[in-house]
Amino acid sequence: MSQSTQLANETKSSAHEGNSDVAGNEFLAFTLGNEEYGIDILKVQEIRGYEAVTRIANAPEFLKGVINLRGIIVPVVDMRIKFNLGSPTYDQFTVVIILNIEGRIVGMVVDSVSDVTTLLPSQVRPAPEMGTTFSTDFLIGLGTLEDRMLILVDIDKLMSSPEMGLVDQLA
């Protein structure tokens, strides 16, 4: 838990410092299964350790339920279930990334978070068409680093898509 809190504090400070000399975007890197993903750091409100959620009757399986975040009821999506990546396991590394999507607060459960990475435009490649359950409509591209590749997710598009129904449900 302290690691998550520390990373959240580093995330907030790096998101707000804003170095105008660096022509790149910052992404929060997280893992789901064996893959590493990245989302725009400016969409991240905070990172929390995983805690039990309150289930909602008749909700889609990927919608784990809701949590009470300082008086705000926040829907929580398990991304491993959403992307059909096998049965989720919840351990000390599992975190909930709290996102601010178009003024709505949404939680997203991931296996772990690793770091905040700055990618220059030259390090982002277009996403190839893939025959997976993950539509390339929700991808920004692939971020290439020395020995890593980040699947860059357009989290706004994904969370506000009709199949997720989260932004419409909350509106």
- Per-residue confidence band for 28, with pLDDT thresholds at 50, 70 and 90: very high
132 pLDDT exceeds 80? no
The pTM of this model reads: 0.80
- Per-residue confidence band for 83, with pLDDT thresholds at 50, 70 and 90: confident
Burial pattern 69-108, b for ≥16 Cβ within 10 A else e, equals beeeebbbbbbbbbbebeebeeeeebbbbbbebeebbbbb
Higher pLDDT, 128 or 95: 95
Mean pLDDT of the region 35-63: 94
- Per-residue confidence band for 170, with pLDDT thresholds at 50, 70 and 90: very low
Q: What residue type is 96 in one-letter code?
A: V
Q: What percent of the chain has pLDDT over 70?
A: 77
- Per-residue confidence band for 15, with pLDDT thresholds at 50, 70 and 90: very low
